[in-house]
Amino acid sequence: MNIQEYIDSGVLELYAAGGLTPAESAEVDRLAAQHPQVRMALEECLRTMEAYALTHAKAPRPELEDQIIRQMEAVTPPRKETTPVNGRVLPLNPSATEEFTERSNSRWWQMVAAVLLVLSVGFNVYLYSNLRNTRSELALARQDSRQYALQVSQLEQRNFQSESLLGVLRNPSTVLVQLKGVTQHPDAQATVFWNQETKEVYFDASSLPKAPTGRQYQLWALAQGKPIDAGVVKSTDSTLQRMKAIEEAQAFAVTLEPEGGSVNPTLEEMYVMGNSNSK
Amino acid sequence: MAQLRAQDQKAITLLYRNYSAALYGVILRIVKQEEVAEDVLQESFVKIWSAFPTYDEQKGRLFTWMLNIARNLAIDKIRSKQYRVSSKTQPMENTVTTHMVSSDGIKPDHIGLQEMTEQLNPDQKVIIDLMYFNGFTQSEVAEELNIPLGTVKTRARMAIKFLSKLIK
């Protein structure tokens, strides 16, 4: 039999999902025991179905915990060794065997107790490691899904941004105003997209240095020599920010102002400026 | 012996605390009614605990083993006569159509992953769900959906491959 073909056939997945008859399942068990490759592929399927089952997890009512735990405690301790021996043999001569039985009994109990202790500790260790695995698997799965969701929303946001940017750029009435760094800040740069029909202003601050804490950049339109507030710049990342609508401007400039912006520009703190070639 | 009993108690509590939500969610998904699900949950834990000596680590994963016990008891329940009579008032309960609809009123604790599994192709998902939550065998699935057995296999494989990528 070709092992890879067997793995690819889908039978392991059927096994994991519970779609095989007992006889078919036994065949899978047999092959998994024989071929490590099969066993690994099967484990993968089982782990996946465990995770799928976990996606349905729902905590039962808290009141159930005590009740169910009591029920579990009431059943025979789960150890083969403790199964009571049925059909006790009665001694023919009680007085003669009494002492012997007592002693061997207590020794027997000691042994049982020791075995039980070892088993119990082993079981606890096993459960604990299993629990840790399950927990870390769950945590990983949760983290993954969170990251995934975050990535999707980031991508969506980015996509939305680039789409709106494209819309602004494609519009024939949009003029692009390059703001160049003034003498004190030769490396600073920014771009204003100004739709002269709708008067909308978009600002791209990506080439401005990060504003120090407690300060914000503010965009100004200069019309007839007077500065008009076009709004404060919220962040200097690559996002395109919509500013206040500007009716008329011969130039745009950016100054660094206290947080929240100022009524009049602090001219000593001007970073960039550019003419808008307004028609 | 008192010490052993205390150890047992710890193990039982550990088992319950860590697996009850997982098992209960699956059981509820199968039997649909909370009261029935609670009964089956109790039965499952009692069975898991008393069958623990028969669990063979070499033969399979503990969580899978526990899930199978719970699933089997829950599926037995929906197949029992008593249950069928009591749920007659809720027709369409376990038909394929309800499985095609992704939301079945159960609010999972892990919404993110649950949502992700909704990306699974419905044709593939229904096959996994019929087997896992309704106890159908591959041939029963083929019959129910009126598709060839080979298709059942392929779709089951694709579904689990997809899920496995999601959880990685």
Which residues of chain B does A149 touch, with a Cβ-Cβ cutoff of 8 Å? 112
Choose the mutation target among A5, A30, A56, A150 for the interface with B, i.e. most B CBs under 10 Å. A56
Q: Would you state the pLDDT for residue B14?
A: 77
Reading the block at residue A160, the tokens are 């939305």
DSSP string, B67-129: HHHHHHHHHHHHHSHHHHHHTTTSTTTTSHHHHHSS--S---S-HHHHHHHTTS-HHHHHHHH
Count CA within 13 A, CB hemisphere, residue B26. 32
Q: Give the pLDDT band of residue A6 (cuts 50, 70, 90).
A: very high
Tell me how crowded residue B153 is: count the other CB atoms within 10 A of its CB: 21
User: Mind listing the pLDDT tens digit for each residue in A108-144?
Assistant: 777 777 777 777 777 787 787 788 778 777 777 777 7
Which of A10, A47, A67 is facing B153, going by the closest CB pair?
Answer: A10
Q: Give the pLDDT band of residue B56 (cuts 50, 70, 90).
A: confident
Question: How many residue pairs from chains A and B have C-beta atoms closer than 8 A?
Answer: 216
Number of helices (H), then strands (E), belonging to chain B: the values are 9, 0
User: Mind listing the pLDDT tens digit for each residue in A199-211?
Assistant: 889 888 878 888 8
Q: Give the pLDDT band of residue B93 (cuts 50, 70, 90).
A: very low
The number of angstroms, rounded, from the C-alpha of A75 to the middle of its chain's C-alpha atoms is 41
Q: Is A179 helix (H, G, I), strand (E, B) or coil?
A: strand
User: Mind listing the pLDDT tens digit for each residue in B96-150?
Assistant: 444 433 333 344 444 455 666 777 888 999 999 999 999 999 999 999 999 999 9
* Choice between A97 and A64, residue whose per-residue pLDDT is larger: A64
Count CA within 13 A, CB hemisphere, residue A72. 28
Q: Determine, for residues A54 and B52 on separate chains, whether the beta-carbon distance falls below 8 Å.
A: no
Q: Give me the domains of chain B, ranges plus CATH numbers.
A: 1-90 (1.10.1740.10), 107-168 (1.10.10.10)
Whether ipTM > 0.95 holds is no
Q: Assess if CATH 2.60.40 describes domain A174-275.
A: yes
Question: Which of A119-123, A226-230, A251-255, B23-27 has the least mean pLDDT?
Answer: A119-123
**Which of A107-111, B52-56, B119-123, B156-160 is most confident?**
B156-160
User: Mind listing the pLDDT tens digit for each residue in A34-90?
Assistant: 999 999 999 999 989 988 888 888 889 999 999 999 998 888 655 544 444 444 444
Q: Determine, for residues B112 and A53 on separate chains, whether the beta-carbon distance falls below 8 Å.
A: no
Reading the block at residue B56, the tokens are 């063979």
What is the rounded average pLDDT for all residues in chain A? 79
Q: Determine, for residues A49 and B132 on separate chains, whether the beta-carbon distance falls below 8 Å.
A: yes
Q: How far is CA A144 from CA A149, A151, B77, B166, in A?
A: 8, 10, 35, 8
CA distance B157 to A220: 61
Count CA within 13 A, CB hemisphere, residue B28. 22
